[in-house]
Structure 1
Amino acid sequence: MIALLLALGSSLAYGCADFLGGLGARKAHVLRTVMVAAPASLAIELLLWPVLGASFDPGAIGWGAASGVASAVAFALLYKTLALGPMNVLSPVTALVSAALPVGVGLIQGERLGTAGLLGLPLALIAVVLVSAGHGAGSSRPSRTALLLAFGAGAAIALQLVFLHQAPADSGVAPLIVGRAVSTAVTLTAAGVLRRRLGREKPAYAMSAAAGVLDSVANLLFLIAVRSGDLTVVAVITALYPVGTVLLARSVLAERIHRGQLVGLGTAAVAVSLLALTST
């Protein structure tokens, strides 16, 4: 049950981070937003080091660095995917792949689910798609390139989660620190190479920094959750992060929640309840 609650917290934090990051990216080039968010994330993880401890053994460094590279790749592919559109088709594809691959890894590694879990898991995957999708999903069809990029983005997100799961359980926050340092270095390098394309608009500093802080919180909660529970359950609950984004968009931007998304929210509630039975 503790792992499930931590996964729910991780999902909510990821959703809030995406919402704030998305708003920030409207004001300036997305790399400018990340140039603020990434160092803010790293600062939070460094502050957690004396509190939660960190053991920088080869396993923590290797898996942490791998998660950082996957995070940077996921970011680049995700925004390229959404730029090509249509978002209401490609976003659920990305979310579904990011959930399904860790589930497969967990099952291959020997994790087993009871009856409630076997019912809750597919319901949660369905909820991910329904909540992620906007209205009019059938209005246009994505290109083959856009679909491949969506699968790639989802796979990169999934690999980031899997790599964090593989890090030694006694390494504390070391994998997060290493991963964030690597992803920050990759992002700053990309910003340097593309500096002429970034424009002159200043990023929303407070909003971008808040997104980075929330992303660190989400990563931390996920890491603790997978150390105390099954990757299959934690990954699929974490992938419900669009719920937080949708609810914030409704309350802050007055965006309408469409019928399919309402069904998705209800489906998510049922799935979480079933998975909670599995976790008790």
Structure 2
Amino acid sequence: MSDFVGGIASRRVAALRVVIVSYPVAMVLLIFLALGFGGTVTTPAVVWGALCGVSQAFGVWWFYAALGSGPISVVSPLTAILVAGVPVGVGLALGERPSGVAYAGIGVALIAVALVSREAKGDEDRPHRFTKKVAWLTVGAGLAFGLNFVLIDQAPVEARLWPLVFARVAASLLVIGIALASANLVVPRGIPLKLALAAGVLDTIANVAMLLALQASLLSLTGVLISLYPAATVALAMVVLKERVTRWQAGGMVLALAAVAMIAVG
């Protein structure tokens, strides 16, 4: 839901102007939650949290930009494949060996990318198309989000929610600096502001759930299961925005979700 709301806001104003509102809001909320949860603040918690924040900053910025320019029902599933793939790749580098089902899932994911990326005849007239720019933003966002899972998973469990606080502090400072350098340090008004505030609240809930899940289970499994989030984003895009998808794209989205499930099982 946070992705959908943030994407809608980014269709009205620059993505950076949405993030400079949603991230500080999430930071303040996380500080209050962290104080309630307790936990021990250590150097590893600060370092891993800050590194995670850098990855999150670029991930959300690029993702909102992709959602703002391209079709949400296409961008979201493709991002999820990369989000699922990065933890698997890190697991391989650390010596983990997935099963044949997981390898098959990777193959299905590649087919899904090809199908979802296809545009129907006449799509050149659509305002939100899957262009090369949108494709690169999607890839960048997926890699950044996947790395986010890997980094935050390294934070000590005894720190509770504090790594998320330091992540949001680092991310907020980074996006504000980028916005200032690119002349985008302008707080949106009206509906975009309300959407940005809502995205910040929803993003806080999602990140707390993410960290608690990572602390309670394996990185490779949890990271991939979290990647099933496009189901809600795509459903909202099709119901609320009436986004049109071709049969090939619909088949590709189904394969994308199947690929995520296969990688998780493997």
Instruction: Specify the alignment match of 1:211 in structure 2.
Output: 199
Number of aligned residues: 261
> Counterparts of 1:1-280 in structure 2 under 5 Å?
16-78=1-63, 94-111=79-96, 118=102, 121-122=105-106, 125=109, 129=113, 135-136=119-120, 150-195=138-183, 204-260=192-248, 262-263=250-251, 266-267=254-255
Task: Give unpaired runs (5+ residues) of structure 1.
Answer: 1-15
Structure 1 residues 264 and 55: alpha-carbon distance in aligned structure 2, compared to 1, 3 A threshold: farther
Contact 1:88 1:132 (C-alpha < 8 Å) held by counterparts: no
Query: Secondary structure at the residue paired with 1:27?
Result: coil
d(CA) in 1 for partners of 2:11 and 2:131? 23
Structure 1 residues 252 and 62: alpha-carbon distance in aligned structure 2, compared to 1, 3 A threshold: same
d(CA) in 1 for partners of 2:140 and 2:146? 10
| Displacement after TM superposition at 1:148 (Å) | 5.6
Contact 2:7 2:65 (C-alpha < 8 Å) held by counterparts: no
The TM-score with structure 2 as length reference comes to 0.76
Contact 1:17 1:212 (C-alpha < 8 Å) held by counterparts: yes
d(CA) in 2 for partners of 1:227 and 1:238? 13
What is the identity, as a one-letter code, of the residue corresponding to 1:45? L
Cα root mean square deviation, aligned: 3.9
What is the identity, as a one-letter code, of the residue corresponding to 1:235? G
d(CA) in 1 for partners of 2:35 and 2:252? 40
d(CA) in 1 for partners of 2:98 and 2:240? 38
| Displacement after TM superposition at 1:101 (Å) | 1.3
Q: Which string of whole-angstrom CA distances, capped at 9 and with x for unpartnered residues, describes residues 71-106 of structure 1?
A: 112234445667887988876654433321111212
d(CA) in 1 for partners of 2:116 and 2:22? 23
What is the identity, as a one-letter code, of the residue corresponding to 1:109? L
| Displacement after TM superposition at 1:232 (Å) | 1.6
Structure 1 residues 249 and 274: alpha-carbon distance in aligned structure 2, compared to 1, 3 A threshold: same
| Displacement after TM superposition at 1:180 (Å) | 0.5
d(CA) in 1 for partners of 2:106 and 2:252? 12
Task: Give unpaired runs (5+ residues) of structure 2.
Answer: 125-129
Query: Secondary structure at the residue paired with 2:11?
Result: helix
The TM-score with structure 1 as length reference comes to 0.73
Structure 1 residues 44 and 127: alpha-carbon distance in aligned structure 2, compared to 1, 3 A threshold: farther
d(CA) in 2 for partners of 1:273 and 1:217? 23
What is the identity, as a one-letter code, of the residue corresponding to 1:37? S
Q: Which string of whole-angstrom CA distances, capped at 9 and with x for unpartnered residues, describes residues 178-213 of structure 1?
A: 001111111222223333685986562222111111
What is the identity, as a one-letter code, of the residue corresponding to 1:177? V
d(CA) in 2 for partners of 1:24 and 1:254? 17
| Displacement after TM superposition at 1:110 (Å) | 4.8
Structure 1 residues 128 and 221: alpha-carbon distance in aligned structure 2, compared to 1, 3 A threshold: farther
